[in-house]
Structure 1
Amino acid sequence: MTRPTPLAAPLAAHVVAIVGAGLVGSGWALVFARAGVRVQVYDPVAEVRARILPWARESAAALAEAGLIEDIEAVIGRLHVFDTLAEALDGATYVQESVFERVEVKTDICRAIDALMAPDTIVGSSSSGIPASRFTEGCVHRGRFLIAHPVNPPHLAPVVELVPAPWTDADALEGARELMQAAGQVPVTLTREIDGFILNRLQGALLNEAWALYDEGYASLADIDATISHGLGLRWAFMGPFETIDLNAPGGIVDYAARLGGMYHAMAQSRTPRAWPQETIRRAGEERRAALPEAELAARRAWRDKALTGLAAFKKASGLAP
């Protein structure tokens, strides 16, 4: 095993290993290759490994067309796919784990990484809501493990949540933050663990209300979606909820809270948290499949990524990008 580059070294001197190369892992590979880093990718499934480079080339071409990268061949040339975990980890300063979202699966892969990694390597998990303490406690190098949760797809949505386990080394958390910033991502650092982290707790609050409104028959899925895509989402594309309300009252955030805080509190009290009703989920599935047949899901994801690429280009041109 080659010793990894010190964390303080220039970005181009680092090696990043990607473990798990599905939708999220492939996006991560492109994030670091685009930033000038050698990327070593491993997935246990041969078919997945075979798809990585063709997908990356197609995605890099879309980024180049939008003016977000300049040299496609240089980006693709930094991607290296390996058949074994040991080869992918060789010399890695940072490892991004993106395997299936199950505690037992993540426990197994983290222990395998732990057995092969250098002591100073940092390992970030793409876990969407499971804290690292639930699958890294038994690792010898557990102080080097943390959560690095992206938005999907990570090469188009730059925010990444960094969540330490109780035993994560302070320099590992800081090293991950510095690496993400250098790679063009927007790291959000949590002070401690919480299920769902920040992003999915915020998304969950919105989803819970959306399901309740749909279940109670107030509006269709399409109309509920429209309130976000053609309303709240327009502002949220470049500012968060606190800045939004700060600008929505003459006296700023304190004035907004004085005017509307009571209304929001009353709405929250009117809701009793409950599981999403299975019958409502079934109806929602029928409504969505009537609007978008299952066979067209992949094409719609490609449409989404193209739209996100255009939005990223706009934000860069407007000085709104990180």
Structure 2
Amino acid sequence: MTEPINKIAIVGAGLVGSGWAIVFARAGLEVAVYDTLPTVREGALPFIKDALADLQGVGLIDDAAQILARIRIAGTIEEALVDADYVQESVFERVDVKSEVSQLIDAAMAPGTIVGSSSSGIPASAFTQDCVNRERFMVAHPVNPPHLVPVVEIVPTPWTDKAAAERVRVLMERVGQVPVMVRREIEGFILNRLQGALLNEAWALFEEGYASAADIDKTVAHGLGLRWSFMGPFETIDLNAPGGVADYAKRLGTLYHGIARSRKEPRPWSDELIARVEDERRQVLAETDLSARREWRDAYLTRIAAFRKQSGDKGDA
């Protein structure tokens, strides 16, 4: 019988990596955190401490100090990987950076260690093909911040061992995340392809003058997003017609097909377009206030997570 995963190494200690440390430590696992930049390493524990205090404040955890005690900062990648059963790589989203780090992990990992990358859209086959242990590498992509948004996309490469991917799925369920098994590699995976479709339409509507960025945001925040915060697109339409999904498709399928056909040649986001949206956003929120607004977002997500825990909502029908 395969031994359970108990010791975790985090490689990349930024916002995502620090969030992952919380995920694993609050589930009772020992976590070692490493980053090549000393300033990032030094900033990880203060960030984690503050986040744990917020979680305890709304009743999502009982003992922040006990969880923090399970997390240590490692001075080298080799130190972080000592006895690690699972490695969560969370470095910069660039193929050359991930390739270099993957080879360092490959050289230091123990037999049986599994590696998941927090890659947001780059398939692991693009940066693990030269690893000796490449059959134990895959993508395990979270949503930022992972300790507040539980979904994780598990995306194997063509050479990833199926048993290794299954062990990661079991691990993610065990630590309270919601794993999504992506059957084969595709650029952007599932989440960012769905998000990208909405984003591309939002940019196009703004560029063509149909609405302001603020009003487009309102449409999602106070409309679509309220349903999507607890159910997905298929369940949403299944409940939005008397006869379910087939009835919905019969009623509105032609409309959506027409909308899709109207975007046959999507344009890239131009510098001029980006500047216009940037200008509108900075009028609403100064660049100096971005960090504070992120803290507001995380506090809001924390309260939502607390409500869902109290209501017993696991997001499944």
> Structure 1 length normalisation: TM-score?
0.96
**In structure 1, the residue corresponding to 2:130 is in which secondary structure?**
coil
**In structure 1, the residue corresponding to 2:112 is in which secondary structure?**
coil
The aligned counterpart of 2:286 is 293
Q: Where do residues 113-262 of structure 1 align in structure 2 (5 Å cutoff)?
A: 113-262=105-254
Q: Which runs of 5+ in 2 are unaligned?
A: none
Equivalent residues, number: 314
Give distance in 2, aligned partners of 1:296 and 1:7: 48
The aligned counterpart of 1:3 is none
- CA offset at residue 141 of structure 1? 0.2
Give distance in 1, aligned partners of 2:21 and 2:236: 33
**In structure 2, the residue corresponding to 1:124 is in which secondary structure?**
strand
The structure 2 residue matched to 1:281, chosen from 260, 274, 279, is 274
Pair 1:8 & 2:3 matched: yes
Give distance in 2, aligned partners of 1:186 and 1:88: 26
Pair 1:17 & 2:24 matched: no
> Structure 2 length normalisation: TM-score?
0.98
Give distance in 2, aligned partners of 1:242 and 1:278: 35
- CA offset at residue 35 of structure 1? 0.7
- CA offset at residue 7 of structure 1? 4.8
- CA offset at residue 304 of structure 1? 0.2
Give distance in 2, aligned partners of 1:303 and 1:67: 18
Q: Residue 147 of structure 1 contacts residue 164 of structure 1 at CA under 8 Å; is this kept in 2?
A: yes
Give distance in 2, aligned partners of 1:131 and 1:289: 33
Q: Residue 7 of structure 1 contacts residue 93 of structure 1 at CA under 8 Å; is this kept in 2?
A: no
Residues 289-308 of structure 1: CA deviation (Å, up to 9, x unaligned): 11000000000000000000
The structure 2 residue matched to 1:306, chosen from 293, 299, 304, is 299
Pair 1:318 & 2:293 matched: no
Residues 103-154 of structure 1: CA deviation (Å, up to 9, x unaligned): 0000000000000101211000000000000000000000000000000000
Pair 1:102 & 2:88 matched: no
Give distance in 2, aligned partners of 1:186 and 1:8: 21
Give distance in 2, aligned partners of 1:54 and 1:321: 30
**In structure 1, the residue corresponding to 2:128 is in which secondary structure?**
coil
Q: Where do residues 257-272 of structure 1 align in structure 2 (5 Å cutoff)?
A: 257-271=249-263, 272=265
Q: Residue 165 of structure 1 contacts residue 193 of structure 1 at CA under 8 Å; is this kept in 2?
A: yes
Q: Residue 128 of structure 1 contacts residue 196 of structure 1 at CA under 8 Å; is this kept in 2?
A: yes
- CA offset at residue 321 of structure 1? 3.2
**Letter of the aligned partner of 1:270 in structure 2?**
S
Q: Residue 312 of structure 1 contacts residue 321 of structure 1 at CA under 8 Å; is this kept in 2?
A: no
**In structure 2, the residue corresponding to 1:140 is in which secondary structure?**
coil
Give distance in 1, aligned partners of 2:64 and 2:313: 24
Give distance in 1, aligned partners of 2:47 and 2:104: 27
The structure 1 residue matched to 2:18, chosen from 13, 26, 50, is 26
Give distance in 1, aligned partners of 2:96 and 2:270: 28
**Letter of the aligned partner of 1:259 in structure 2?**
R
Residues 161-192 of structure 1: CA deviation (Å, up to 9, x unaligned): 00000000011100000000000000000110
Give distance in 2, aligned partners of 1:27 and 1:321: 20
Give distance in 2, aligned partners of 1:310 and 1:7: 37
CA-based RMSD: 0.9
Give distance in 2, aligned partners of 1:235 and 1:7: 39
Q: Which runs of 5+ in 1 are unaligned?
A: 1-5
Give distance in 2, aligned partners of 1:212 and 1:94: 42
Q: Where do residues 33-52 of structure 1 align in structure 2 (5 Å cutoff)?
A: 33-52=25-44
- CA offset at residue 8 of structure 1? 3.1
Give distance in 1, aligned partners of 2:45 and 2:199: 35
Give distance in 1, aligned partners of 2:118 and 2:197: 21
